[in-house]
C-alpha cells in the first residue's frame, strides 16, 4: 500500500511540473546594438549589470517572476533611421532554477505571441504605446553577437526605426511535446513485477526528459555564469586601462614638474651668483670706512703730548674742540657744524689760524 501511494504522488508531481506556474527568480543575459535606454518588469523600473551603450558588454538582469507580467525595453540605434533590421538588434536568453518557470529557457524570437515591438525615428514614449502600435519584429542581420545566445534570434521593429520598444512575454508557456499520461483512477494494489510496455515506455520517457532537462539547465547556468565572469573581467580590464592611463599621465606630469624645477633651480643659482658678483664689485668700489676716533689728544704745530694735554700751543680733542694756548691765555674754538665739516679741511683751517696766532704770540713776547 505504501508503494502504491508513493507511485501515485510521483505521477501527480510530473503532472504539476507541466501545468503549474510558480514565482521564481529569473536571470536574463541580453545586449542591444547599439544601446539600451530603459527597462521595466511588471510596470516597475529594473536595472541590469553591465554597460548599456556597449553591445559587447553583456547586461545581466535578475527579477522575480510574476504571473502575467511582461518585460519592456526601450533601445536606440545610432545609425540612420529605417535600417535597424540591418544595423541594430536585441539578443536575450533567460534561465530560472525553477523548471516550471515560463522564463526558463527563454530565447528572443520573432514570434508575435512572445515578442511585440514598435519603432520610430524619434524617441519613444513608453506610456504612449498602445496595442495598435505593436507588431511582430524582424530578424535582424546586424553582425553583433552575444556569447551563450545559442539559437536566440536578433530582433528589431520591422520598420527599422532608430528607436525601438520591446514587450517581451515569457508568461506564455509552450505546450510540452510529450505530455505525461494521466494516472489511472483506480491503481492496482501491487505493481506487477514486470511492468507493461506502456508503463516501461512512460517511465523511460520521463527519466530521459528529466535528465536532458537537467543537463540543459546546468549548461545554461554555466553559460550565464561564464557571461557574468566575462562581463566582470571586461569591467576590470576597462578600470585597469583607465588606471594605467592615469598613472602614465601622472608620471609625465611629474617628470615635467621635475624638469621645470631643475630649470628654475639652475636659473635661481645663476641669479644668486650674479647678485653675489655684483655685490662684491660694489663693495670693492666703496671708499674705506673711517675708523672710530681714538681717545687721545692730537697736538698740532710741533707740540708734544703730555698725558691728555699738549705742551705746545694747539690741542685738538675728540669732542671736536680745538684749544689754542698762548703764553697768557687759552683760546677754545667750537663749531656747531663739526659733525658735517670735512676733518681734513677743518685741520687745514685750524693750522692757518694757529700759525697766525703763534706769529702774533712771538711778536708780543719779544723785548
Tell me the pLDDT tens digit for each residue of 122-165: 999 999 999 999 999 999 999 999 999 999 999 999 999 999 99
How does residue 91 score in pLDDT terms, banded at 50, 70 and 90?
very high
pLDDT band at 73 (very low <50, low <70, confident <90, very high): very high
Q: How confident is the model at residue 257 (pLDDT cuts 50, 70, 90)?
A: confident
Q: Which residue pairs from 217-222 have beta carbons closer than 8 angstroms and sit at least 24 positions apart in sequence?
A: 217/95, 217/97, 217/99, 217/104, 217/105, 220/93, 220/95, 220/105, 221/95, 221/97
- The yes-or-no verdict on residue 188 having pLDDT over 60 is no
Per-residue buried b or exposed e for 99-127, using 16+ beta carbons within 10 Å of the residue's own CB: bbbbbbbbebbbeeebbbbbbbeeebeee
**pLDDT, tens digit, 9 for 90 and up, residues 13-47:** 233 333 345 579 999 999 999 999 999 999 999 99
Band of residue 8 on the pLDDT scale cut at 50, 70, 90: very low
pLDDT at 124: 94
Report pTM: 0.45
Identify which has the larger pLDDT, 329 or 155.
155
The confidence band for 363, taking pLDDT boundaries of 50, 70 and 90, is: low
> In which order are the strands placed within the sheet that holds 298-300?
298-300, 314-316, 322-325, 330-333
Amino acid at each position: 500500500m505504501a508503494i502504491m501511494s508513493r507511485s501515485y504522488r510521483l505521477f501527480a508531481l510530473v503532472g504539476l511540473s507541466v501545468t503549474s506556474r510558480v514565482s521564481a527568480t529569473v536571470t536574463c543575459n541580453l545586449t542591444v546594438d547599439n544601446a539600451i535606454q530603459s527597462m521595466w518588469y511588471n510596470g516597475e523600473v529594473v536595472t541590469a549589470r553591465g554597460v548599456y551603450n556597449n553591445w559587447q558588454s553583456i547586461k545581466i538582469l535578475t527579477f522575480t517572476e510574476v504571473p502575467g507580467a511582461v518585460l519592456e525595453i526601450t533601445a536606440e540605434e545610432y545609425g540612420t533611421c529605417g535600417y535597424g533590421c540591418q544595423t541594430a538588434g536585441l539578443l536575450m536568453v533567460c534561465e530560472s532554477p525553477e523548471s516550471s518557470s515560463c522564463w526558463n529557457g527563454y530565447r528572443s524570437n520573432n514570434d508575435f505571441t512572445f515578442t511585440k515591438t514598435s519603432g520610430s525615428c524619434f524617441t519613444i514614449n513608453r506610456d504612449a504605446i498602445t496595442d495598435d502600435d505593436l507588431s511582430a519584429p524582424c530578424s535582424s542581420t546586424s553582425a553583433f553577437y552575444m556569447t551563450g545566445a545559442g539559437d536566440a534570434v536578433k530582433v528589431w521593429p520591422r520598420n527599422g526605426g532608430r528607436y525601438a520598444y520591446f514587450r517581451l512575454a515569457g508568461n506564455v508557456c509552450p505546450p510540452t511535446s510529450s505530455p505525461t499520461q494521466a494516472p489511472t483512477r483506480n491503481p492496482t494494489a501491487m505493481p506487477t513485477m514486470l511492468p507493461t510496455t506502456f508503463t516501461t515506455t512512460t517511465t523511460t520517457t520521463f527519466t530521459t526528459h528529466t535528465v536532458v532537462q537537467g543537463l540543459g539547465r546546468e549548461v545554461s547556468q554555466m553559460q550565464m555564469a561564464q557571461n557574468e565572469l566575462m562581463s566582470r573581467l571586461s569591467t576590470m580590464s576597462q578600470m585597469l586601462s583607465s588606471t594605467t592611463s592615469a598613472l602614465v599621465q601622472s608620471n609625465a606630469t611629474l617628470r615635467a614638474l621635475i624638469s621645470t624645477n631643475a630649470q628654475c633651480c639652475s636659473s635661481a643659482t645663476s641669479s644668486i651668483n650674479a647678485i653675489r658678483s655684483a655685490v662684491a664689485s660694489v663693495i670693492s668700489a666703496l671708499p674705506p670706512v673711517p675708523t672710530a676716533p681714538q681717545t687721545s689728544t692730537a697736538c698740532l704745530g710741533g707740540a708734544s703730548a703730555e698725558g691728555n694735554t699738549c705742551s705746545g700751543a694747539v690741542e685738538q680733542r675728540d669732542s671736536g674742540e680745538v684749544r689754542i694756548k698762548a703764553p697768557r691765555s687759552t683760546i677754545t674754538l667750537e663749531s656747531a657744524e663739526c659733525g658735517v665739516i670735512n676733518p681734513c679741511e677743518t685741520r687745514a683751517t685750524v693750522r692757518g689760524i694757529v700759525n697766525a696766532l703763534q706769529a702774533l704770540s712771538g711778536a708780543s713776547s719779544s723785548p
